[in-house]
């Protein structure tokens, strides 16, 4: 199993997508037991690319290059690699024909400059681009592998997911490292570590901790498959120590986990969102097949819709305000009733940056759950951070609130 490095070609203006790409490559490799040892971003200048390639070639066995395969003047990865390897760029009539067809299908005259994308490094294996025009390439040289992928994530992702992964699986005999994710929510990183430190070390498993904005992941790497028994024992211990703050081992993402719990219990969910503006609905419907348990969502951003659609009485809004336990309960009940669901979940709060007061500061978020038989639960939160962070934390916390109550009430 050789070292892997990634060279991302692009200016600093492209960091957003470069990051998505490296992230995706890293996750795909993890699934076949491989990992990136180094990633670097270099400007799209030929000499810079060649220099980085030389360095990586001396250290690593597999080198990814992303970006710089476009049709325009500043796309020069093809040329840099061809010069570094001393291999010619060869025009492929077939690829040019495929590119032309893509434009014609969209009703656009194929631009001449896209012809550049039909040039292939001599001897390269071609990776078909189903989304855009630039084909990817795999070149083998002196027992090492160079993989060129297009920069737009929408093009790189399917290529990496299918062709590159399959190619590497065949090429590389991977060591059988297995990764297990222990996930926690509602406790700080340091508490997770302090409470688990001794137990972990008694099991002799290596862990690294990754704190996300609310979820803490402890990653265990198993080098011997027979050690998997330890994982299941640890799972039991953590359940005892952390209770519902421990989500589980390798759990699916929270929206999917909630979906599984709802499906198992044959319950349908409807939402009433205010400050999150549709984010919770979006997260739930990220999951294919969510229509089985998700009826829909009322984004009652204005008070008039809270009154007219969810039937929150004017008097409640006047007396307690839209961000209150009382309003949250009525919103959840309204979502349940008008959303034709078994469970209504509501979120109402102040995401900021303005709109806060001493009594109700920015970050105050009320959530409520309306269960069958009139059962109601509420939760008050005080989140910190930017508007975006507060909204994200509110959305995740509301799903976690539902997870806890589903496993308590119907477990």
Q: Is 36 in the site for its own copies (CB under 8 A)?
A: yes
Q: Is 291 in the site for its own copies (CB under 8 A)?
A: yes
Q: Is 363 in the site for its own copies (CB under 8 A)?
A: no
Q: Within 115-154, which residues bind its own copies (CB under 8 A)?
A: 130-131, 133, 152-154
To which H or E segment does residue 179 belong?
strand 178-185
Angstrom distance (rounded) from CA 327 to CA 313? 9
Angstrom distance (rounded) from CA 197 to CA 15? 36
Output the six-digit token pair for 237: 């211990």
Q: Min. distance of Cβ 320 from its own copies in angstroms?
A: 19
Q: Can you tell me which of 45, 98, 141, 189 binds its own copies, judged by CB under 8 A? A: 189
Pick between residue 125 and residue 307 the one whose CB is nearest to its own copies: 307
Q: Is 165 in the site for its own copies (CB under 8 A)?
A: no
* Backbone dihedral region for residue 130 (phi beyond 0: left; psi -120 to 50: alpha; all else: beta): alpha
Q: What does the DSSP assignment read for 322-339?
A: SSSHHHHHHHHHHHHHHT
Q: Within 42-101, which residues bind its own copies (CB under 8 A)?
A: 42-43, 70-72, 74
The residue whose two tokens read 């790189």 is 156
Pick between residue 190 and residue 357 the one whose CB is nearest to its own copies: 190
Q: Can you tell me which of 33, 248, 253, 277 binds its own copies, judged by CB under 8 A? A: 277
Binding mask 222-261 for its own copies (x = CB under 8 A): ----------------------------------------
Pick between residue 285 and residue 378 the one whose CB is nearest to its own copies: 285
Residue 213 sits at the vertex; the CA angle it makes with 187 and 27, to the nearest 5 degrees, is: 110
Output the six-digit token pair for 102: 């893509």
The residue whose two tokens read 């309003």 is 327
Q: Is 346 in the site for its own copies (CB under 8 A)?
A: no
Output the six-digit token pair for 178: 């297995």
Number of H helices, E strands in the chain: 14, 17
Beta-sheet pairing, 269-273 with 343-349: parallel
Q: Can you tell me which of 114, 256, 346, 348 binds its own copies, judged by CB under 8 A? A: 114
Q: Is 177 in the site for its own copies (CB under 8 A)?
A: no
Q: Is 28 in the site for its own copies (CB under 8 A)?
A: no
Question: Is 299 in contact with 277 (CB distance < 8 Å)?
Answer: yes
Question: Is 163 in contact with 126 (CB distance < 8 Å)?
Answer: no
Q: By rule CB under 8 A, what count of residues binds its own copies?
A: 102
Peptide bond before 353: cis, by omega within 30 degrees of 0? Answer: yes
Q: Min. distance of Cβ 211 from its own copies in angstroms?
A: 6
Q: Can you tell me which of 57, 96, 320, 338 binds its own copies, judged by CB under 8 A? A: 338
Pick between residue 123 and residue 188 the one whose CB is nearest to its own copies: 188
Neighbours of 387 (CB within 10 A): 15
Angstrom distance (rounded) from CA 147 to CA 127? 10
Pick between residue 190 and residue 407 the one whose CB is nearest to its own copies: 190
Q: Is 309 in the site for its own copies (CB under 8 A)?
A: yes
Pick between residue 308 and residue 319 the one whose CB is nearest to its own copies: 308
Q: Is 388 in the site for its own copies (CB under 8 A)?
A: yes
């Amino acid at each position: 199993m050789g070292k892997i490095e990634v060279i991302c070609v692009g200016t600093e203006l492209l960091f957003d997508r470069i990051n998505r790409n490296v992230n995706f490559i890293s996750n795909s490799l993890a699934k076949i037991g491989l990992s990136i040892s180094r990633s670097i971003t270099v400007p799209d200048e030929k000499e810079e690319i060649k220099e980085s390639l030389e360095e990586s070639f001396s250290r690593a066995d597999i080198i990814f290059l992303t970006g710089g395969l476009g049709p325009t003047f500043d796309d020069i990865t093809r040329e840099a690699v061809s010069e570094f390897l001393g291999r010619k760029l060869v025009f492929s009539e077939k690829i040019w024909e495929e590119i032309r067809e893509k434009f014609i299908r969209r009703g656009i005259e194929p631009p001449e400059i896209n012809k550049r994308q039909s040039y292939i490094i001599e001897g390269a294996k071609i990776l078909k681009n189903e989304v855009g025009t630039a084909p990817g390439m795999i070149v083998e040289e002196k027992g090492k592998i160079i993989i060129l992928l297009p920069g737009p994530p929408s093009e790189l992702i399917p290529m990496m997911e299918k062709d590159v992964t399959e190619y590497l699986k065949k090429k590389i005999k991977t060591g059988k490292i297995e990764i297990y994710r222990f996930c926690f929510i509602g406790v700080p990183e340091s508490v997770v570590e302090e409470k688990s430190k001794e137990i972990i070390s008694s099991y002799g498993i290596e862990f690294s901790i990754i704190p996300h904005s609310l979820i803490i992941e402890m990653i265990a790497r198993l080098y011997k498959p027979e050690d998997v028994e330890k994982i299941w024992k640890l799972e039991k211990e953590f359940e005892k120590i952390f209770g519902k703050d421990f989500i589980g081992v390798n759990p699916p993402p929270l929206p999917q986990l909630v979906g599984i719990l709802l499906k198992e219990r044959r319950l349908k969910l409807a939402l009433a969102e205010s400050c999150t503006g549709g984010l919770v609905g979006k997260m739930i419907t990220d999951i294919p097949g969510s229509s089985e348990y998700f009826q829909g969502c009322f984004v009652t951003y204005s008070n008039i819709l809270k009154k007219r659609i969810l039937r929150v009485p004017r008097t409640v809004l006047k007396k307690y305000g839209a961000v209150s336990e009382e309003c949250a309960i009525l919103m959840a009940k309204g979502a349940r009733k008008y959303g034709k669901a078994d469970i209504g979940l509501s979120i109402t709060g102040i995401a900021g940056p303005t709109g806060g007061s001493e009594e109700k500061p920015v970050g105050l978020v009320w959530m409520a759950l309306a269960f069958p038989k009139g059962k109601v639960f509420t939760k008050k939160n005080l989140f910190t951070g930017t508007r975006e962070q507060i909204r994200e934390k509110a959305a995740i916390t509301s799903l976690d609130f539902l997870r806890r109550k589903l496993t308590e009430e119907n477990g």
